[in-house]
Structure 1
Amino acid sequence: MTNLMGSKMQEQVKVTRNGRILEIILDNPKANAIDITISQKLGEAFVMLRDDPELSVGIITGAGDRIFCAGWDLKALNAGEMQTDNWWEDDYGPGGFAGLTEMWNLNKPVIAALNGLVIGGGFELALACDLLIASDNVEFALPELPLGLVPDAGAIQRLAKRLPYNKSMEMFLIGERMSATEAASYGMVNKVVPQEKLMEAARAWAEKLANSAPLAVQSIKELMRAIEGDTIQEAFKTMRTADLPTYRALLSSDDAQEGVEAFVEKRAPAFKGK
């Protein structure tokens, strides 16, 4: 693996490259909380994933085995380094809070390897990922209400699309924690594994994606984003008429032909991303 960050941020946002996989570790003891500077560095890492044609997939995890991320750095907020009024006007960097919650043009998949408590803004970061693998000690919670706040950096927008309405309202209003097992029963988490198997499981899925046709993988995200909210009939129209450059490139790509030829010839495909 190749480390890609400098010394100070290397301690808080560790970015390493493993072939076509970019691994990002949030390491800000004790709670892996996110302030503006850390958010900006996370955004830079996701931009690297987005823009480097040699990268296919990202993994985001937290350091340690207790807390994936506790969200907003409340000490920094209390010190006036961030604001609550129109908080989005602060410069959280590309991708908005945590670098990913509003990165609408990232078509490469991101796997969240959740290694402990997933709380507040950390939950919102996880919800912005495409695949969620949780260790068996993970719990999810949204504790904003007793702080006089609401989770408006992604949970309000996304959670009720992943959980039944009344369960999402329970998390918003009551603040009850949800175990990884319960989250998986609703489909919010893809897989629950023992703590010691977490990164092994995440890397196995990342390797599978890295070996797939890049344009096909990226088209899935582009298309899913484009048709969200469409009826089925509208979705067909969107796919056929909307500005979808990755999908259009896929349909006329060498990789599409290569995949078919490899299947017919009973060999492994050699995808090139074009």
Structure 2
Amino acid sequence: MLKGRVAVVTGATRGIGFATAKELAARGATVIVCSRDLASAQKAARRIGKKAQAAGLDISSAKSVSGFVKKIVAAHGRIDILVNNAGYPFDPKIWYKHMHRVSDGELDAVLEVDLKGTFRMTKAVLPVMAKKKGGVIVSISSTPAIAGYDQGAPYSLAKAGIVAMTKHVALEYGRHNVRAYSLALGNIATDATFNSMSAKAQKAAAQESAVKRWGRPEEVARIIAALAGDDFSFATGNTIVVDGGTVFL
């Protein structure tokens, strides 16, 4: 159980973020539901219930991140769990573009959110967790970051950086009882991915894994909640593959 702990989930109004916020709240945590759109965050928090609170947050802005963390610490005195879920939206124009045709602007747009946004949030909560002598950071990566892929180069680069960042946090802040994990996700049926594909592409993607189906946001959420608890107290720095048996380490 996570009773008494304060959890921050970025990009928490739908998909994996919402499922994670809901699961953490169900296990007793006070959950801060974050989004650039405060109204959407408030709506999501109401759906989750009394253990959820809404907050506006733009992870692409250092000022927004700093102000947010100060506000949460002032209100709750701590941040025990950070889930770095917010990411740059799937953009077919970037995803399907050959790497040699990707512009600096397109690369920067993805890195600004996926990698630098995760860095900003992690950097901001680390002193808070270190001071309290404990904390868990879970960051969302992707299987192309470890296995490679022939599409979506900017996304793969950003997600690979998250894997490296996770290892660094584990090594530098383990002495403060701060644990860090990254999840390398495969095909998870969120609106942003599943519904952006044709029926034919959806069926083909389902056949890529050993279990021959898409994963569900709730399945990812349960893994994150388990990592955030004490059952993984002697494991840190790990990248956990959640893809139904497609990529093996």
Task: Assess same fold via TM > 0.5.
Answer: no
Q: Which is higher, the Rg of structure 1 or of structure 2?
A: 1
Q: TM-score, normalised by structure 2?
A: 0.31
Q: TM-score, normalised by structure 1?
A: 0.29
Larger relative contact order (CA 8 Å, sep ≥ 6) = 2
Higher helix share: 2
